[in-house]
Structure 1
Amino acid sequence: MANIVQFENVGLRYGTGAETLSDISFTLAPGAFYFLTGPSGAGKTSLLRLLYLAQRPSRGLIRLFGEDAVTMPRERLPGLRRRIGVVFQDFRLVPHLSAYDNVALPLRVAGVEERDLDTPVREMLAWVGLGERASARPATLSGGEQQRVAIARAVIGRPEMLVADEPTGNVDPEMANRLLHLFDALNKLGTTIVVATHDMHLLGRVTRARIMRLDRGRIADPTGALRNPPEDLA
């Protein structure tokens, strides 16, 4: 597959107002790492919603994994979504479930037998440094721990693409670096990573990452939208 994502002249409008996103065109390569940047209100979250199929565009072409995601029948969308892991800015953990059960949830939804859950779930919790917190419920976890549970849940199914919306926005700088290291490690295993952030200091932490900047709903530099971090941040 040449590209895992292809957007061509995509526009997104909510209701009858002005377009939130206009004339968005780009491609994402499989196994690459991307930062999506831009000021608050630039449209980053809206673009991510299109990427993980929570929203359909008002116009334009979107191809994911070689398939037309715009004209695809709705009953086929869940199968495509299972190939994408999502880390939400507000975590969206199920409050009455333990960390273990939150991480296990995608596997249960996919029909994995209970006897086959324990090893991968505990390995994933250990991978994010929460092996001793498997039985803890979200309310008893710190913000950084909740975020790591959310990351573990997003990647437990070994998605082909991981989309993260401001994943370091609610944690301190040390934890931000730890979370970014987790994404980097996952990327080295072959997962395409897309991280939306307004934190410019993160952009040089992954030297091979490419940067796409949004400004007022448009790609800020359409002739060179995907570029390496500037030298002063590398």
Structure 2
Amino acid sequence: MANIVQFENVGLRYGTGPETLSDISFTLRSGAFYFVTGASGAGKTSLLKLLYLNQRPTRGVVRLFGEDTVTLPRKRLPGFRRRIGVVFQDFRLVPHLSSYDNIALPLRVAGIPENDIEAPVREMLAWVGLTDRGKAKPLTLSGGEQQRVAIARAVIGRPEILVADEPTGNVDPDMAERLLHLFDSLNRLGTTVVVATHDFHLLNRIPTAHMMRLDKGRIHDPTGALRHPAGSNE
């Protein structure tokens, strides 16, 4: 599998404070599943922001899809971002839009004709188990339902990378299992999946997943930056 993401000696500082991330180096393989773990405040969200191009590093090199994003012209950023799906911890659904319209939003922004939108949106609603909730507004949905709408919105454009920030933090254990199953299903279709979590009980739910642990802004693993599944030769 080719490398889809590469970080080289990356550091991130907000303002004049100390570095939030320091000397981060790793590669992510296309089509693999990754957990980013660590305690609250370890730097997981900051790392994900670099991955989905919400933030540029203070130093170092971040390559996505073979290109250096630090020197990438700003006019090319929207095209890169469309190749990345993001599931935020706080969902970020548009409150006045229905589930259907929230999921359809990325397609409309991309200029997809309306006649070509309904079928994939209906498919996504069925995929996340919300066929009968298409007309519901976010405030009428449970936390788990909102999260599933957010996931459907993130993946409807068939992103090459899916980034999820603590996607199971606001749901019960049964729903957490269901959400992980959705991510695993998407990964099996070829999408590279990166899930940040501080819930160590989830790590064994995806036996093929790779793991990266952050501690105080640094990758911490005595055997290397990425710990691969048992039996892997990578």
What aligned pairs does 1:150-189 form with structure 2 within 5 A after superposition? 150-189=150-189
The runs of 4+ residues in structure 1 deviating greater than 4 Å are none
In structure 2, what is the Cα distance between the partners aligned to 1:50 and 1:103? Answer: 24
SS in 1 for 2:221: coil
Query: Can you give the 5+ residue segments of structure 1 that lack an aligned partner in the other structure?
Result: none
CA contact (8 A) 1:6 1:63 kept: yes
Q: Quick one: distance in 2 between partners of 1:48 and 1:221?
A: 19
Q: TM-score, normalised by structure 1?
A: 0.97
Report percent identity of matched pairs.
80
Q: In 1, distance between residues paired with 2:117 and 2:130?
A: 17
CA distance in 1, matches of 2:15, 2:149: 35
1:83 aligns with 2:88: no
Aligned to 2:211: 211
1:100 matches 2:65: no
Alignment partners' CA distance in 1, 2:2 and 2:204: 26
Structure 1 letter corresponding to 2:116: D
1:137 maps to which residue? 137
In the alignment, does 2:54 pair up with 1:54? yes
Q: Count the aligned residue pairs.
A: 230
Q: Deviations over 1:12-60 (max 9, x none)?
A: 0000010000000000000000000000100000000000000000000
Give the corresponding residue for 2:74. 74
Secondary structure in structure 2 of the residue aligned to 1:70: coil
Q: Deviations over 1:65-97 (max 9, x none)?
A: 011100001111010000000000000000000
Deviation of the 1:224 alpha carbon: 1.6
Assess if the C-alpha contact under 8 Å between 1:37 and 1:214 holds in 2.
yes
TM-score by length of 2: 0.97
Aligned equivalent of 2:128: 128
Query: Is the CA contact 1:83–1:159 (under 8 Å) kept in the aligned structure 2?
Result: yes
Residues 125-151 of structure 1: per-residue CA shift (max 9 Å, x gap)? 000000100000000000000000000
| Alpha-carbon distance in 1 for matches of 2:105, 2:49 | 21
Which digits, 9 at most, give the CA deviation of each residue in 1:141-175, with x for residues without a partner?
Answer: 00000000000000000000000000000000000
Opposite residue 225 of structure 1, the aligned amino acid is A
Helix, strand or coil at the partner of 1:4: strand
CA distance in 1 between partners of 2:10 and 2:33 (Å): 22
Task: Please state how far the C-alpha of 1:2 moved relative to its aligned partner.
Answer: 2.2
Q: What is the alpha-carbon root mean square deviation over aligned residues? A: 1.1
Quote how far apart the aligned CAs of 1:227 are.
Answer: 1.3
> Who is 1:40 aligned against?
40
The letter of the residue matching 1:33 is F
